[in-house]
């Protein structure tokens, strides 16, 4: 087992054993933003859940921002709670399908700018985005962005 997998497993195990307080800050029951509070320390962090794989979610805690694992005990705590909800495992397995498109940062040993096509994404924008990102949905400077700045060329989504 790789060190990263072992460390993720420790955070998963530890996070699911915690008695954190949590609150859904959004309107969606699974793919949403949550507040996680440690009643012992009083610390409170924001967690965004977008999937089950490392790097798909976000937490505002210091461990998440520095560990390069793409997860932390707060994310694992929330995932554990969501997996216990009725229908939670099924919804998590189906994946996050927002109405809106989004550009986001995937966390892990390497960070990647990613583009998630939303259900309401206009076809010309989806086609343009497909040319700008690789098959793994991460930014590709060779596909249209300026290599130095990472900026898109001018001209709108369909140009």
Domain tally, the chain: 2
74 and 16 in a single domain? The answer is yes
Q: What is the pLDDT of residue 136?
A: 52
The total number of residues shown for the chain amounts to 159
- Residue ranges of the chain whose pLDDT lies below 70: 134-159
113 and 80 in a single domain? The answer is no
87 and 135 in a single domain? The answer is no
Is 125 a member of any domain? yes
Is 56 a member of any domain? yes
Is 138 a member of any domain? yes
- Alpha-carbon gap, residue 23 to 97, rounded angstroms: 22
84 and 111 in a single domain? The answer is no
73 and 133 in a single domain? The answer is no
Write out the residue range of the structural domain in which residue 17 sits. 3-94
Is 117 a member of any domain? yes
Among candidate residues 29, 47, 27, 28, the one with its CA nearest the CA of residue 37: 47
Q: What is the pLDDT of residue 152?
A: 45
DSSP string, 29-94: SSSSEEEEE-TTT--EEEEE---SSTTSSEE-SHHHHHH-SS--HHHHHHHHHHHHSTTHHHHHHH
22 and 58 in a single domain? The answer is yes
Is 150 a member of any domain? no
- Alpha-carbon gap, residue 71 to 55, rounded angstroms: 7
67 and 123 in a single domain? The answer is no
7 and 66 in a single domain? The answer is yes
Q: What is the pLDDT of residue 146?
A: 45
């Amino acid at each position: 087992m790789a060190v990263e997998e072992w460390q993720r497993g420790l955070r998963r195990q530890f996070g699911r054993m915690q008695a954190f307080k949590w609150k859904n800050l959004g309107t969606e029951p699974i793919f949403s933003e949550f507040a996680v509070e440690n009643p012992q320390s009083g610390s409170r962090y924001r967690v965004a859940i977008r999937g089950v794989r490392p790097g798909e979610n976000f937490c505002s805690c210091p461990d998440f921002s520095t560990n390069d694992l793409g997860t932390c005990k707060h994310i694992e705590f929330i995932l554990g709670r969501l997996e216990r909800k009725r229908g939670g495992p099924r919804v998590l397995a189906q994946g996050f399908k927002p109405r809106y498109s989004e550009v986001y940062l995937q966390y892990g040993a390497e960070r990647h700018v990613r583009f998630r096509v939303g259900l309401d994404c206009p076809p010309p924008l989806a086609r343009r985005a497909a040319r700008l990102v690789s098959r793994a949905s991460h930014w590709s400077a060779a596909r249209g962005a300026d290599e130095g700045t990472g900026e898109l060329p001018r001209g709108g989504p369909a140009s």
